[in-house]
């Protein structure tokens, strides 16, 4: 009997034999996923929900990454008033029942109603450092690095507070929302002053605490090492993060699935394709996309592999292109 989609993806995540190599692709469902605030506008959550439904009905994905569009803004009023690093010491947790958490649990429940029991689902959650940065009123590229240089203990304390809320979110969307796991997005600090030793001391504890909380309620959690807009990451910074699978920007980092799988100790890996409009996945022909998928599998193998992209794909991508990748995984 052929594997169901849940069985297929679970087998791939566990490095077990698969009937075909599964695929995983996703995109944002809002015109402005970063600044849209679903807490202020309930229609935003409906747009996100409807976008998932349309994609699911048109493509029938092997699994679904549940997008947190509308909830990128972490509504901690203490952070939103911060103008100096010392003020980070004054922030307090939102608490596990805050609407920012409750509404995301509600979103996941509603999404699960769409997908039923047909596919595994993973909810998008960002690292505490990202939520902290985006909440600062004077946010700019190197503000977090500057704060760390000025007073790393204040930053560590603030990240611990944010991590408490993000850990609560991670647990609740799995336990109460019904998601199978989280898709946890991390990123090296894009600041030459922040070496790995500093990252490990200041940033990593907050990320590890979120992962530990998610791992308490599910062992199907995915780490995404984000190469958004060409951001470079050192994958070796994340080798001791305990997750079921890893996804990174293959094109940006120039690290193949085969090499990445070795870096991460043989764990399952996701990706292989670039995600921009200049890449073959978006702009290629059926022949070129099929050939690209075949080359990826020729080097990476077919065990513990899920074909996907570096990150979210363009909203207007032709879904036939994704289907061609799926068909290539059957060969």
Q: Please state the rounded mean pLDDT for residues 21-40.
A: 93
Q: Please state the rounded mean pLDDT for residues 42-68.
A: 96
pLDDT given for residue 224 in this prediction: 98
Q: Please state the rounded mean pLDDT for residues 138-148.
A: 83
Q: What is the per-residue pLDDT across 101-119, written as a single tens digit (0 to 9) for each?
A: 999 999 999 999 999 889 9
In 3-state terms, what secondary structure has residue 166? helix
Q: Please state the rounded mean pLDDT for residues 295-304.
A: 97
Burial class (CB in 10 A: 0-12, 13-18, 19+), 69: buried
Task: Report which of residues 211 and 231 the model is more confident about.
Answer: 211
Domain spanning 5-328, CATH architecture: Alpha-Beta Barrel (3.20)
Residues 6+ apart with CB under 8 A from 131: 74, 162, 166
- Spacing of C-alpha 246 from chain mean position: 10
Q: Please state the rounded mean pLDDT for residues 148-154.
A: 96
Decide if pLDDT at 177 tops 80.
Answer: yes
Contact present, 82 and 41 (Cβ < 8 Å)? no
pLDDT band of residue 312 (cuts 50, 70, 90) is very high
Kindly state the helix (H) or strand (E) to which residue 250 belongs, with its residue range.
Answer: helix 250-253
pLDDT band of residue 238 (cuts 50, 70, 90) is very high
The side-by-side arrangement of strands in the sheet containing 268-273 is: 23-24, 305-309, 268-273, 245-248, 222-225, 181-186, 120-126, 63-66
pLDDT given for residue 228 in this prediction: 79
Q: Please state the rounded mean pLDDT for residues 80-90.
A: 91
Decide if pLDDT at 140 tops 80.
Answer: no
pLDDT given for residue 73 in this prediction: 92
**Angle in degrees, 0-180, between the axes of helices 286-300 and 319-328, rounded to the nearest 10:** 40
Decide if pLDDT at 6 tops 80.
Answer: yes
Integer-rounded Cα radius of gyration of the chain: 19
CA distance 12 to 6: 10
Decide if pLDDT at 141 tops 80.
Answer: no
Decide if pLDDT at 67 tops 90.
Answer: yes
CA distance 32 to 276: 17
Decide if pLDDT at 190 tops 90.
Answer: no
Range in 13-22, 77-86, 246-255 with the lowest mean pLDDT: 77-86
pLDDT band of residue 9 (cuts 50, 70, 90) is very high
- Please give the angle made by the CA atoms of 43, 48 and 51, to the nearest 5 degrees: 120
pLDDT given for residue 298 in this prediction: 96
Domain ranges of the chain: 5-328
Decide if pLDDT at 303 tops 90.
Answer: yes
Closest CA to 77 of 99, 98, 89, 94: 94
| Residue 301 Rama label (left phi>0; alpha psi -120 to 50; beta) | left
pLDDT given for residue 227 in this prediction: 83
Name the token pair of 241.
């993060």
Task: Using a cut of 0.75, tell me whether the model's pTM lies above it.
Answer: yes
Q: Please state the rounded mean pLDDT for residues 222-246.
A: 93
pLDDT given for residue 138 in this prediction: 75
Kindly state the helix (H) or strand (E) to which residue 163 belongs, with its residue range.
Answer: helix 152-175
């Amino acid at each position: 009997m052929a594997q169901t989609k849940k069985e297929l993806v679970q087998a791939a995540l566990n490095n077990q034999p698969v009937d075909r190599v599964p695929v995983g692709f996703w995109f944002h469902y809002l015109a402005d996923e970063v600044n849209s605030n679903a807490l202020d506008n309930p229609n935003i959550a409906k747009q996100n929900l409807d976008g998932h439904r349309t994609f699911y009905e048109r493509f029938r994905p092997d699994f679904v990454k549940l997008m947190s569009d509308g909830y990128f803004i972490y509504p901690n009023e203490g952070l939103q008033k911060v103008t100096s690093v010392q003020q980070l010491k004054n922030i307090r947790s939102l608490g596990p029942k805050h609407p920012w958490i409750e509404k995301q649990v509600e979103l996941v429940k509603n999404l699960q109603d769409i997908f039923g029991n047909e596919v595994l689902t993973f909810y998008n959650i960002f690292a505490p450092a990202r939520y902290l940065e985006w909440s600062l009123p004077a946010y700019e590229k190197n503000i977090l690095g500057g704060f760390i240089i000025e007073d790393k203990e204040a930053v560590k304390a603030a990240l611990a507070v944010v991590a408490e809320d993000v850990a609560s979110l991670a647990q609740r969307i799995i336990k109460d929302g019904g998601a199978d796991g989280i898709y946890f997005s991390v990123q090296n600090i894009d600041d030459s002053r922040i070496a790995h030793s500093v990252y490990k001391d200041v940033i990593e504890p907050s990320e590890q605490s979120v992962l530990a909380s998610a791992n308490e309620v599910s062992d199907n959690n995915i780490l995404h090492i984000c190469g958004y807009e060409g951001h470079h990451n050192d994958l070796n910074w994340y080798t001791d993060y305990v997750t079921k699978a890893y996804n990174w920007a293959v094109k940006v980092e120039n690290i193949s699935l085969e090499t990445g799988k070795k870096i991460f100790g043989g764990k399952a890996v996701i990706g292989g394709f670039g995600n921009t409009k200049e890449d073959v996945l978006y702009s290629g022909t059926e022949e070129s996309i099929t050939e690209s998928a075949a080359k990826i599998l020729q080097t990476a193998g077919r065990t513990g592999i899920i074909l996907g992209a570096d990150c979210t794909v363009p909203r207007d991508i032709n879904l036939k292109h994704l289907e061609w990748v799926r068909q290539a995984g059957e060969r």
